[in-house]
Structure 1
Amino acid sequence: MQAVRFLRSGQFGFILQKLPQNQLAQAPTRTSSAVAAQVERWDKAHERYFGPERDLKNFPHPVMRMRGAPVRLGFIPEEWFTAMYPKTGVTGPYILGTGLLATLLSKEIWVIDHGFADVLGFTGAFLFCVLKLGPGINKMLEEKQQRMYDATYAKPIAAAKEAYTNTIDDAKNAIWSLEGQKHLFEAKKENVDLQLESVYRQRLQKAYAEIQNRLDYHLNVQNTKLRFEQEHMVNWIVSSVVKSITPQQEKESLKKCIADLKALAAA
């Protein structure tokens, strides 16, 4: 009951209005166990006060009115007239009031003296204020009350709801982003695999080039060695042959060559 009075007094909305939005969004939330215990207490209270034994027809739950009850003649409640309609009819309340006034005057219960003029003046001023000034004052007070209601209750709650809604949306977006981390991890893994494959192929190409260079080196060394041995063998054979030819053999060979040339020329 105190919590209900606290909410109706507008202090809760005033407190919400003074709090910045970031503090409203960062307000600590209850745990699931605390919420479950609170819901259980609400269920017990609801079962006790609004159970099947509660006679809501004859004893309805009291509801606070947003506006005052309608009145007649500026101050008499409307429900007094409607309560007398079944027995006295529509004119019954007015006849009762007139008869009561006549009884008070005739029995001198209400003694008219020189101060009665003040009563008439006060009554006239009261009726004038109620009928002429009352609607404007009522409208002004209702607008002021509505502004106070909006400033201390409706707008802070709406701002708090908007802040919490934005926080919930941000949390949902964060959850959605975290769900995408799985695909991002797979993409990064594939990217790393491609990088490893690229490095592997580069190293494989480098190893192939190194082995090819070494094989070419050994082949060049072998070819150079064979070419050197061949040249050395040819030079040695030519040198040995040249050294084995005597001057006489050289002269005879020249003569034979000249004779062969002459024979070829004659032919």
Structure 2
Amino acid sequence: MLSRILFKAGRPVSSCVRVAARMSSSTPSTLQVVDKNYPARVQDWENFKMPGAPYEGMGPLPPVPDFDENSVRHYVIPEYWFDFLYPRTGATGLYTLMAGFSAMLVSKEYFIYTPDTWYAATLLLTVAGLNKMAGKDIRNLFDNMRTDELKALDQVKSDQMEDLKQTVDEIKLEQWRSGSAEMINDALKNNLAMMLETEYLNRQAAVVEAVKRKLDYQVEVQKVDSQLAHG
């Protein structure tokens, strides 16, 4: 008899379930893929986006959004279900729907009570009570643990960045030294060329001096021969 409450809204259960599923599927998604095919060669790394990535560019991942407690009721029921059924069935429409659906499952023997059912109900009540009493403290504890892990990862990243920067500076220094070595080699080549040119000029001057002495000797010999011939 209680299963008839399900038809109070004027539509069967299956249609209500389909409408709720359609609403859940029609919610806007924040994941938008820019490129469907991976490019063979990326030119613009700043605006490039990996296919299926939930963020723009190649920068760091965006921060994880905080959980909004007002988005669900009783930890599992979405709030927009209540917003959808409120103008049709009133504030208690979803609760009536759930109660009628549960009654139908029990009355039609789709769901049969067993001792495990009470164990599961006790476990759910215990978890709900613990969440009510210490849920925030436990959540803050896990948030702090995650924050510490993120800080440790950031520290490792910073250390690696410093090592990479130091490596880049060393490479630049070696490149500068290689450029200085080329300049030194050019200077040595110029000095060697000047030394060779100086040696060539010295030898040329020595040859000219030797030829001049021989010519002077021949001139003196001619003078002596002419004096002896006229004397």
Does TM, normalized by the shorter one, top 0.5? no
- TM-score (norm: length of structure 1): 0.35
Question: Is the helix fraction higher in 1 or 2?
Answer: 1
Could you tell me the TM-score, scaled by structure 2's length? 0.39
Q: Higher Cα Rg: structure 1 or 2? A: 1
